[in-house]
Chain A
């Protein structure tokens, strides 16, 4: 179960990325900006959707015991790091998505 959780997270994010990519194609074409700016916009949407999914899954999960203070401190460091990495990956995703639409699939 512990091993399957990261794999499921990657699959979920990949699916969300694909679906979000398909849904944002029209929006991307209507925006009158250069592709890096549109990539940042897509990244912002992706981050928002990811946070939304995270909140929804957290709310739907069975009640877990609240960790103790020292554990929460350690977990907090990991959470901040996760947020930063997620933001970085989202920007990379948005830029890559925008680049591919601009030069490869146009």
Chain B
């Protein structure tokens, strides 16, 4: 049995390099996160706005078309995968200081929504994949979900 060990071969695969970057640390379960550039690579996403912010590191991801659920559960330094492509998604990101929204299923918001995101410094990506497949690719690349607890208070109000 032969195992490919040439580091250059591994480096050339964006999925693998993203995964290596996000290996869990030896001291805890938290990953080092992914740069938005790696998120775009892993998803083969089109960056609609925010090309200047692709070095931002995110720690987790959340999938939802319900903005109230995003407001309830999402923690900082997370990205949101959604099929909803309107200004409310950008406002929700603004309220939570989220840096990146990924529109799945090939959705693209109208230009005024992209302009609002640019103004607020929110990175937008569009992916021609389902939400399920997109989430799977990011999980494989090393991102994990937010802890299943309400984002409002630390350590209280555990979700039912």
A and B are partners in one complex rather than unrelated chains = no
Which residues of A does B touch, CB under 8 Å? none
Which residues of B are at the interface with A, using a C-beta cutoff of 8 A?
none
